[in-house]
């Protein structure tokens, strides 16, 4: 008994001692301009880099920029025109060339540009659009090509990878010989420092946290992975069309979520098939309070996708048997009850 009490006391003491070590969750999907403001002369051109970082575990494809700047007289071009692939946790840089009209008035304006890309889960791809704001300062006499993009390839990753792997192998081999054990340990200590430092520079610590913060239900074997939204049969559409009582659904998703596109696509199809159903997609990172309020954040872990029926606050998580569970959540009438046919 005394043993157990002792363990409890030590555990409680440790709780308070270890508390400051931990830190909170952060978002992991970002677009970043190379400069805060792009300075451009009327009738001139200026370049700016746009870095797209993929914090998700699936690749982003066919990234391109689109902007309706005709009214303002600006033109926009990018190099490359389309980024074919951004690997998971990788990044890509677009060299954006902006040309201002000769009659552009001096001052600052904000241009809205859309980043379009597809987000692929195996064979299924989903089109995504991210609005970006580019702040432009129009200054007569400003240097043409004021802010340049740094699109040169980073030479360090292969060098550091070779050093880390060679150091690791050498350290382990030296460590096996009694007389060279200290040399091996020193080599491994260098590898540890180099790996942690370079990994942190490469934001790999955030990737680690991002993977841990998501409850990917299929990844840890809580459900069978689904990559395609369920199809609506004629009977399903009949049942949805027969629904008369209003139903409001909230679809909670996150940019890094694996199966959210499946849930979003299916709820959108259900919404289209019924006049009584409305839905809203909520980004859990933008509206964490709403997610908390509807029980989508369970024990500090964001569980997405999640679908909530607003009037009853009933919650559905994951995409396992999505059609059956969503129809149950919606309490759809049977076709026979409404006099319809299957």
Q: Which of residues 141-160 bind another protein (CB under 8 A)?
A: 157, 160
- Tokens representing residue 279 in the block: 């839905």
> Per rule CB under 8 A, is residue 5 in the interface with another protein?
no
Question: What minimum distance in Å lies between the beta carbon of 312 and another protein?
Answer: 15
> Per rule CB under 8 A, is residue 30 in the interface with another protein?
no
Total number of residues binding another protein (CB under 8 A)?
Answer: 72
> Per rule CB under 8 A, is residue 229 in the interface with another protein?
no
> Per rule CB under 8 A, is residue 102 in the interface with another protein?
no
> Per rule CB under 8 A, is residue 6 in the interface with another protein?
yes
CA distance 157 to 159: 5
| 156, 201 contact by CB (below 8 A) | no
> Per rule CB under 8 A, is residue 84 in the interface with another protein?
no
> Per rule CB under 8 A, is residue 193 in the interface with another protein?
yes
> Per rule CB under 8 A, is residue 209 in the interface with another protein?
yes
> Per rule CB under 8 A, is residue 234 in the interface with another protein?
no
CA distance 74 to 101: 6
Question: What minimum distance in Å lies between the beta carbon of 145 and another protein?
Answer: 34
| 254, 283 contact by CB (below 8 A) | yes
Question: What minimum distance in Å lies between the beta carbon of 72 and another protein?
Answer: 40
Question: What minimum distance in Å lies between the beta carbon of 30 and another protein?
Answer: 17
CA atoms within 13 A on the CB side of 248: 6
> Per rule CB under 8 A, is residue 202 in the interface with another protein?
yes
Instruction: Kindly indicate which of the ranges 91-99, 202-210, 237-245, 261-269 contains the residues binding another protein, using the contact rule CB under 8 A.
Output: 202-210
CA distance 154 to 133: 27
Q: Given the complex with another protein, which of 93 and 302 has the nearer CB atom?
A: 302
> Per rule CB under 8 A, is residue 10 in the interface with another protein?
yes
Q: Give the chain's largest Cα–Cα span.
A: 88
Per-position DSSP letters for 167-196, written without gaps between them: HHHHHHHHHTSGGGHHHHHHHHHHHHHHHH
CA distance 98 to 139: 14
45: which strand partners?
99
């Amino acid at each position: 008994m005394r043993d157990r009490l002792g363990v409890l006391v030590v555990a409680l003491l440790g709780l308070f001692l270890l508390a400051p070590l931990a830190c909170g969750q952060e978002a992991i999907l970002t677009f970043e301009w190379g400069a805060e403001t792009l300075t451009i002369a009327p009738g001139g051109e200026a370049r700016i880099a746009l870095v797209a970082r993929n914090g998700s575990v699936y690749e982003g494809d066919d990234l391109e920029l689109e902007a309706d700047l005709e009214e303002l007289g600006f033109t926009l071009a990018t190099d490359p025109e389309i980024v074919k692939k951004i690997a998971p946790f990788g990044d890509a840089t677009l060299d954006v060339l902006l040309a201002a009209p000769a009659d552009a008035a001096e001052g600052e304006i904000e241009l809205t540009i859309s980043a379009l890309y597809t987000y692929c889960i195996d064979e299924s791809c989903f089109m995504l659009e991210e609005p970006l704001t580019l702040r432009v300062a129009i200054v007569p006499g400003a240097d043409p090509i004021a802010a340049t993009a740094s699109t040169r390839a980073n030479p360090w990753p292969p060098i550091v990878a070779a050093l880390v792997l060679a150091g690791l192998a050498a350290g382990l081999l030296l460590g096996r010989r009694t007389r060279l054990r200290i040399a091996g340990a020193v080599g491994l200590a260098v590898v540890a420092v180099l790996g942690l430092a370079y990994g942190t520079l490469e934001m790999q610590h955030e990737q680690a946290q991002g993977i841990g913060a998501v409850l990917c239900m299929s990844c840890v074997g809580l459900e069978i992975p689904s990559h395609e939204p369920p199809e609506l049969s004629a009977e399903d559409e009949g049942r949805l069309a027969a629904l008369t009582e209003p139903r409001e659904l909230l679809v909670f998703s996150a940019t890094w979520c694996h199966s959210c596109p499946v849930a979003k696509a299916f709820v959108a199809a259900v919404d289209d098939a019924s006049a009584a159903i409305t839905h809203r997609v909520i980004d859990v990172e933008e509206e964490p309070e709403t997610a908390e309020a509807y029980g989508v954040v369970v024990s500090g872990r964001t569980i997405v996708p999640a679908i909530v029926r607003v009037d009853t606050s009933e919650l559905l998580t994951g995409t396992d048997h999505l059609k059956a569970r969503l129809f149950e959540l919606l309490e759809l009438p049977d076709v026979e009850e409404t006099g319809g046919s299957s």
